[in-house]
Amino acid sequence: MTRPRILSGMRPTGPLHLGNLLGALDNWVQLQDQYDCFYTIVDWHSLTTDYADPSAIRENIVEVAADWLAAGLDPARSVLFVQSQVPEHAELHLLLSMITPAPWLERVPTYKEQQQQLTDRDLSTYGFLGYPLLQTADIIIYKAAAVPVGEDQAPHIELTREIVRRFNNFYGPVFPEPQTLLTPTPRMPGTDGRKMSKSYGNAIYLLDSPETVREKLRPMLTDPARKRRTDPGDPDKCPVFDLHKAFSTRATQDWAAQGCRSAGIGCIDCKMKLAEHLVERLAEIHARRPEYASRPDTVWDILREGASKARETARATMEDVRAAMKIHYA
């Protein structure tokens, strides 16, 4: 029986952190058993915001792919590839741009939000406005049935469906409308209590050593009401406890919650217990990662093979698209 196809992607921003693991990667690994999975490292998407300095992209692709492979994405079960190695995405993006009204892109929430947040660069570019459209091309070129995403990305999938309906309405039923496969994303605070993010400098990375994990956790923000060891705390107001909920056993969570509320444990005890669970979770990834991170050629071979599989599907779709749009002249 053919399994439904899904596609998802990540930008090559360098080594992945715990937020990436819980927010996407763990879920992607599970989905390999139920779906025909296409996972892509979207290097062109990086250029929509980091066009002025692309020097790190190549190295970052290897870092992301090494994390993917170490975390359990399996090239024998999933198609793993780099977006720009399947240039058909760009052709479909161009053709979709002919039919997409610019206001549809201007009203995507992240368009204005990111322009306000990333003030150190000029994001009034054509490429930045068009990135949700490129994302649409990434998805529909594989006629994906669904896209696993976090809630923040859901509006993009809605836009994809609108564009698919418009395309099919003009040229006939070429594309299925992809569904949103919502990934449950637990709250994943960084060491300063804000959302874990590479750009905030508050992330714990998959490749961090046990010592680094402990060093990063030691000064981590806790319940601000717990100033002294003798003050009882509220685990529901503590970002450390959010990490316990994601990585510790039920027994440890109960121990931390009870000890916090009764001031029976100190915050350092609590954090070092969390570190034990985190280190255990990362040990498996650490055991596999060097096999890939130290052999970029092997990683590129895997990605090239993935791109060649992806291209077979993408080429077939583009035949359909050109025929539907009456630009098929062979």
What lies within 8 Å, CB to CB, of 169 at 6+ separation is: none
C-alpha distances (whole Å) from 174 to each of 33, 40, 156, 282 are: 27, 22, 20, 43
Binding site for ligand SF4 (CB under 6 A): 222-223, 226, 233, 235, 238, 240-241, 256, 260, 265, 267, 270-271
Q: Least distance (Å) from ligand SF4 to the CB of residue 300?
A: 42
Q: Which of 93, 140, 159 is nearest to 313 (CA)?
A: 140
Q: Which is nearer to ligand SF4, 278 or 324 (CB)?
A: 278
Looking at beta carbons only, is 10 or 188 nearer to ligand SF4? 188
Q: Give strand ranges (E) for the chain.
A: 5-10, 36-41, 78-82, 146-149, 179-182
- Residue 126 CB neighbours (<10 A): 9
User: Considering beta carbons, is residue 92 or 240 the nearer one to ligand SF4?
Assistant: 240
Token pair of 85 as six digits: 């190695």
Q: Which residues of 24-47 are buried (b: 16+ CB within 10 A; e: fewer)?
A: bbbbbbebbeebbbbbbbbbbbbb
- Compute the least distance from the CB of residue 271 to ligand SF4, in Å: 6
Which CB sits closer to ligand SF4, 209 or 258?
A: 258
Toward ligand SF4, which CB reaches closer, 23 or 235?
235
Question: How far out from the chain centre does Cα 192 lie?
Answer: 21
Nearest distance from residue 248's CB to ligand SF4, in Å?
11
* Minimum distance of ligand SF4 from residue 217's CB (angstroms): 9
Q: Closest approach of Cβ 244 to ligand SF4, in Å?
A: 7
Choice between 206 and 260, CB closer to ligand SF4: 260
Q: What is the rounded distance in angstroms from the CA atom of residue 284 to the CA atom of residue 203?
A: 19
* CA-based max dimension of the chain: 80
Query: Taking the complex as a whole, how short is the minimal distance between the CB of residue 270 and ligand SF4, in angstroms?
Result: 3
**What minimum distance in Å lies between the beta carbon of 144 and ligand SF4?**
41
Here the tokens at position 77 are 């079960």
Cβ closest to ligand SF4, residue 102 vs residue 268: 268
